[in-house]
Each structure stands twice: as structure tokens, then as C-alpha cells.
Amino acid sequence: MTAPAVARRRRSRPRTTPLMGLAHVVVWLYAAALVLPLYFLLVSSLKNNTEIFSAGFALPPEWRFDNYLKAWSFTSLGDALLNSAYVTIGAEILIVIVSIPAAYGIARSDGWLGKLVERSLALGFLIPGFAALVPTVFLAIGLGLYRTREFLVLYYVAGAIPLSVILLAQYMRAIPKELEEAATVEGANRFQILVRIYGPLVMPALATVLLLNFINIWNEYIVALVIAGSTIDTRTVQVALPTLVTNQLSQYGVLAAGTIITLVPVYLCYLLLKKRMENALISGALKG
């Protein structure tokens, strides 16, 4: 190998600096902080109380898969999963129907009204959920929707609109106006432009919005407990899960198994949407 070739090879070889080494250590520590609790939860779901407290991180000496059957039957977890799916999917559909036209109007508004609406939506982040809990209960009672899943859907939609609209509006602003102008020349109306042009282009940002809202709605507990209650017909999975803990006896292996069951839909949603969400993050970085 000639001297110039050796020099080029040395120049192309990446240099390892102390800062890069520290960054790798931090990344691995962060990964361990995420994986270890999940591993502990998984192995605990296959143990009894004695095995959990004596050797928490060890593999179970006996694989107790019946813990999952107990968690499913003790709390009627199937009904709770259906209630959570009904509330979450219903809220997601309404969020998409409302957020996309609202974001389009804000993104293409050059006047003061669009800015005022966007800033008003941003004020929604300043209102804590607990502050609105009592008025929300009174509103549900006044509408005759107290102890119903339908009011939960409306509540979650109202809470998710500010973030959803602002994220989608920021993404829509990056779409060239020339595409809309060309479609208008071809005779397309506003609805056709929104569905055929903006719809496919905002799919990565929409996937991010759907995933964030899915996690927030699926895991919400306080409002679901207060509004829908703890009856089997209306309670969500997060309200049903704590009923596995009793004053007389708590089977933590069964509780861990129930927790694993409730996590499965979240991971499935992430697997379905992660590719588009990653595309949104990459395109946002490139535009920035």
C-alpha cells in the first residue's frame, strides 16, 4: 500500500474522543435504565410473592403462566380492554377529524386571527388537568353523560386538540404553497387539496400525534376513575388494574402480569407508527 493511500485511510478513520466515549456510556446507562424495569416486571409476572421478594431479578424457578389467567379473570380485564379501546380509538378518530382542518387553517393564515388562535391553543398547556376536574364533573352531570365512556371520549379530544393542532400546523407550514396553487389551477377545492395533497404529506407528523395521544389516553387514570367510575361496564383498563391489590392479600406476580397485558397495546401501536414517526423526526431535523 502506498504512502498516500495509508494517509487517506488514516484520515477516513473516525477519531474516538473522550467526549464520544462518555456519550456512549451515558447512552448505555440510559438504555439499562429503560430495560431493567421492564425485565423486572416481566420476570415478576411469572413468580409468586416469595420468589419476587427473595430474588427479584433472577429467573423464575417455576414459570407461573397462570398469573396471566388470574389477572385476566380476577378483574374482567377483557371488558376493561374493550372499554379502553373504545375510548382511545374514538378519541383518536375525532382528534384527526378536528385537528387536520384546524391546523391547515392556522398554517395558511397570514393574518392576526390565525396567530391569535394558535397562541390561544398554546395557553391550553398552562391549565393543569386537576384544575379542570371539578368543572368537568359538573359538565358531565349537566349533559347527562356522567358515568359514560362517551364523555371520556369528548374530554380526551378536548385535551389533545391544542398539542395536535400546533404540531400539525408547524409541519404544514413547511409544505410549499406552490403545490396548493397548482392544485387550485387544476380546479381542486379546499377539501380536495386538504385530503389529496396535505393528507399524504402530513402522515409522518400525524403518526407522531396519534402515538402521543394514544399513550396519554390509554394510560390516563384520574379522570377515567372519576368520570367513568369503577363498574365493569364503563371502567378502563387503568382503573381495573389496581383492583388486583386488596387489603387482605396482594399477589404482586398477578399484578405484574396484568400490567404486562395493559402494555401490549401501547407497544403494538408504537410498532405500527414508529416508522412514520421516525420519518417526521428526520425530516424535521433536515428542515431545521
Q: pLDDT band for position 91 (50/70/90)?
A: very high
Among 35-44, 114-123, 190-199, 245-254, whose mean pLDDT is lowest?
245-254
Q: Higher pLDDT residue, 102 or 19?
A: 102
Q: Which residues contact 151 (CB under 8 A, 6 or more apart)?
A: 140, 143, 145, 227, 228
Q: Which domain holds residue 172?
A: 82-287
Span 132-169, pLDDT tens digits: 889 999 999 999 999 999 999 999 999 999 999 999 99
Q: Which residues contact 46 (CB under 8 A, 6 or more apart)?
A: 60, 63, 64, 65, 67, 253, 257
Whole-structure pTM value: 0.85
Q: pLDDT band for position 285 (50/70/90)?
A: very low
Span 106-125, pLDDT tens digits: 988 887 888 888 888 888 77
* C-alpha dihedral (152, 268, 262, 97), degrees to nearest 10: 0
Amino acid 225: pLDDT:
94
Q: What percent of the chain has pLDDT over 70?
A: 89
Please indicate, yes or no, if residue 65 is contained in any of the structural domains: no
| 20, pLDDT greater than 60 | yes
Q: pLDDT band for position 228 (50/70/90)?
A: very high
All cell numbers assigned to 37: 424495569
CA distance 54 to 44: 11
Q: How many domains does the chain have?
A: 1
CA distance 109 to 232: 47
Amino acid 10: pLDDT:
52
Please indicate, yes or no, if residue 77 is contained in any of the structural domains: no
Amino acid 188: pLDDT:
84
Please indicate, yes or no, if residue 185 is contained in any of the structural domains: yes
Handedness of CA 279, 282, 284, 286 (dihedral sign): negative
Among 37-46, 60-69, 120-129, whose mean pLDDT is lowest?
120-129
Please indicate, yes or no, if residue 271 is contained in any of the structural domains: yes
Please indicate, yes or no, if residue 241 is contained in any of the structural domains: yes
73-77 long-range contacts, CB within 8 A, separation 24+ = 74/243, 74/244, 74/254, 75/240, 75/241, 75/243, 75/244, 75/258, 76/232, 76/240, 77/237, 77/240, 77/241, 77/258, 77/261, 77/262
Please indicate, yes or no, if residue 259 is contained in any of the structural domains: yes
Amino acid 280: pLDDT:
59
Q: pLDDT band for position 286 (50/70/90)?
A: very low
Amino acid 281: pLDDT:
58
| 101, pLDDT greater than 60 | yes
Please report, for the domain that includes residue 87, its CATH number.
1.10.3720.10
